[in-house]
A and B are shown apart, each in its own frame.
Chain A
């Protein structure tokens, strides 16, 4: 049997493709947005920046696909949370004219991502499904408690935005998954 090196563990656990996807998303969105927000006065080589940004976003999508193909579905949760923060689907930002179109497009992408994740979970084995069930329970329980705590300090805290709630729930689900996996001695 081949020795269990750090490199092989990084690949097998999905950590490598997770890192590629995160870096691709961060760099791709940064490059694209930086160029596109100045579309009326693009910097020199602006089109190349946009192309490079789109290529990096494509790479991030490919890495997410590799994660799904390898069955390391849990990485998709923090990935979704980070991409929610980066892309903010449903929010038009400064593009007032296309507000509805941006919103609907974001909604379609989000629904597609939820559907794909549900299909992936149906394909996974029974222990993986159980880990996600318990993880999602912990996530929802945390969200419930957090919402009550927020209500306690509502006057002193900044206004809550829907997407932050989704991000916190996704991360709490993922942490719940990790805690549950550890309990079952899950060794990815």
Chain B
């Protein structure tokens, strides 16, 4: 799973330890997620999204879409 955690964290000038404290996890967990070695659980992904005031899919992107699953429709854009 790809993610933008490092970029989002850098934008806010937070250290890994600071983000870890906000999420109530260890710094190593934040490090593992940033390095895309570990995919967080759904509750943790929601917590990350809430902290950055974004949606989960704005932070995490699957490397390969599940077969038969259409990409999400963007309901906000109107032509």
Instruction: Establish whether residues A125 and B38, one from each chain, have CB atoms under 8 Å apart when the complex forms.
Output: no
Stretch of A19-27, A33-41, A92-100, A180-188 at the chain-chain interface: A180-188
Q: How far is the CA of A71 from the CA of B31 in the complex (A)?
A: 17
Instruction: Establish whether residues B32 and A127, one from each chain, have CB atoms under 8 Å apart when the complex forms.
Output: yes
Q: Report if B22 contacts A (CB, 8 A).
A: no
Checking A71, A124, A125, A183 against B37 with a beta-carbon cut-off of 8 angstroms, the contacting residue is A183
Cβ–Cβ < 8 Å partners of B8 in chain A: none
Q: Can you list, as one digit per residue, whether each of A146-188 has a CB less than 8 Å from chain B (1) or not (0)?
A: 0000000000000000000000000000000000000111111
Instruction: Establish whether residues B26 and A128, one from each chain, have CB atoms under 8 Å apart when the complex forms.
Output: yes
Q: Can you list, as one digit per residue, whether each of A111-130 has a CB less than 8 Å from chain B (1) or not (0)?
A: 00000000000001111101
Q: Can you list, as one digit per residue, whether each of A1-30 has a CB less than 8 Å from chain B (1) or not (0)?
A: 100000000000000000000000000000
Cβ–Cβ < 8 Å partners of B32 in chain A: 127, 184-186
Q: Write the nearest CB–CB distance from A67 to chain B, whole angstroms.
A: 15
For A186, give the chain B residue with the smallest CB separation: B28
Q: Report if B61 contacts A (CB, 8 A).
A: no
Q: Can you list, as one digit per residue, whether each of B31-48 has a CB less than 8 Å from chain A (1) or not (0)?
A: 110010110110010000
Cβ–Cβ < 8 Å partners of B41 in chain A: 126
Instruction: Establish whether residues A127 and B38, one from each chain, have CB atoms under 8 Å apart when the complex forms.
Output: yes
Q: Number of B residues contacting the other chain (C-beta, 8 Å)?
A: 14
For A125, give the chain B residue with the smallest CB separation: B25
Q: Report if B79 contacts A (CB, 8 A).
A: no
Instruction: Establish whether residues B26 and A184, one from each chain, have CB atoms under 8 Å apart when the complex forms.
Output: no
Cβ–Cβ < 8 Å partners of A187 in chain B: 28, 31
For A130, give the chain B residue with the smallest CB separation: B38
Q: Write the nearest CB–CB distance from A127 to chain B, whole angstroms.
A: 4
Cβ–Cβ < 8 Å partners of B25 in chain A: 125-127
Q: Report if B77 contacts A (CB, 8 A).
A: no
Q: How far is the CA of A127 from the CA of B34 in the complex (A)?
A: 13
Q: Write the nearest CB–CB distance from B21 to chain A, whole angstroms.
A: 12
Q: Write the nearest CB–CB distance from B36 to chain A, whole angstroms.
A: 10
Instruction: Establish whether residues B40 and A126, one from each chain, have CB atoms under 8 Å apart when the complex forms.
Output: yes
For B20, give the chain A residue with the smallest CB separation: A125
Most chain A CB within a 10 A radius of its CB, from B15, B25, B29, B44: B29
Leading 7 A-B pairs by shortest Cβ distance: A125-B25, A127-B29, A184-B32, A184-B37, A185-B37, A186-B28, A125-B26
Q: List 9 interface pairs A-B (beta carbons < 8 Å), by A numbering.
A: A71-B26, A125-B26, A127-B28, A128-B26, A128-B29, A184-B32, A184-B38, A185-B32, A185-B35
